[in-house]
Amino acid sequence: MSLWPNKPIFEPDFKYSSLDEAIAIDTVNIKAGEYLATLPRDWCIGLVPHGGYLTSLLLHAGTKHMTSHPELSKLNQPHPIHSAVTFLSRCAPGQARLVAAALKTGRQYTFLRVSLYQGVLCLEANIAFTHMAEHQNGPTLRTIPPPPPPRSDGPWDTTAGDPLHDVRPVAKKLLYKATSGSHFGSDRENSPSVREDWVKMADGSKFSITSLGYLSDMFLPLPENYAEMGRTHWYPTLALSIEVKRGPERGGWDVLFRRIESRVIENGRMDITVDMYDEEGRIVAISHHVAIIVDAARNRTKVAKL
């Protein structure tokens, strides 16, 4: 695998940020839904902010708008149960402007659009909000999803064994447990298009609904399991959706399991499905992606503007 052409450099005194710090926003005008954020360098792939991190940022901005806006907060719908994000242009570390607007309000569900700008519209999310305990009533029918494997008692792993770990600083925010002898949860010889792993945050923080955006997109790319991928590539996300099935108990999830699978990788485009489970084997969320495979040289510096 050739060297990554745009390697980020971090000064010795660089202050690495937690997810809560990275998605923090300042309110400009709550009624107009205007907010400011700073996209940090350590939540990037190469020089470009990570798509899952950006999804968490938009989920956080939408949740803040739903729970702080003087009219929307009266609806008592704090939980983003479905989000669909479209990535229109790559972002850059630095300041970004976010705008949240209600598309439709209702007694059970409210639909919000959150847009992120750096000079141009970079990405936007359509998010459905409700209250998962009070506003969702109806039948529950038994299904049989494949259960997660048991978690081993061995130590948690980092991405230090990833040959590109130094250009994927965002990957270092997680710790992993996977089947012994696998390649970060993949059997490269028999099923290279699947990964399975248990994960937790490296800083000890808990997973929230908001952080599922990051978690749904933070795994070593499946194409790197294939021997024919001889040179370095970048895997930008075109669209990402998340359906949340249940909220966390006791303030958040300490550990979650993920099953990551691609059905078709063809002509430089791939689908990805990510199923996320809690420790009781219950599905927490399901995420679907459309991503492309491009030369790593396209992951280059962009001047961030508002």
What would the mean pLDDT of 286-300 be, rounded to a whole number? 93
Residue 304: the pLDDT is 67
Q: Read off the amino acid at residue 109.
A: Y
**Cα separation values, 188 from 22, 177, 191, Å:** 33, 17, 6
Residue 194 scores a pLDDT above 50:
yes
Does residue 109 contact residue 129 with C-beta atoms inside 8 Å? yes
CATH code reported for the domain at 19-133+151-298 = 2.40.160.210
Segment among 36-40, 90-94, 229-233, 276-280 with least mean pLDDT = 229-233
Q: Give CA 27 to chain center in angstroms.
A: 23
Q: What token pair was written down for 188?
A: 């490269």
Q: What is the pLDDT of residues 75-123, one digit of tens each?
A: 999 999 999 999 999 999 999 999 999 999 999 999 999 999 999 999 9
Contact call for residues 120 and 89 (beta carbons, < 8 A): yes
Q: Where are the domains of the chain?
A: 19-133+151-298
The first and second tokens of residue 46, run together, are 């190469």
Return the residue matching tokens 């990964």. Answer: 195
Share of the chain above pLDDT 70, in %: 98
Of residues 140 and 40, which shows the higher confidence score?
40
Contact (Cβ atoms closer than 8 angstroms) between residue 248 and residue 207: yes
Paired with 240 in beta bridges are 85, 289
Distance CA 129, CA 83 (A): 9
Asked if residue 240 lies in contact with residue 85, where contact means CB atoms within 8 angstroms, the answer is yes
The mean pLDDT of the chain is: 94
pLDDT digits 0-9 by tens, 173-190: 999 999 988 999 999 999
Is it the case that residue 270 has pLDDT exceeding 50?
yes
pTM, entire model = 0.95
The token duo for 111 is: 């639909």
Q: What pLDDT score was predicted for residue 1?
A: 46
Statement: residue 215 has pLDDT above 90: yes
For 227-247, the pLDDT digits (tens) are 988 878 999 999 999 999 999
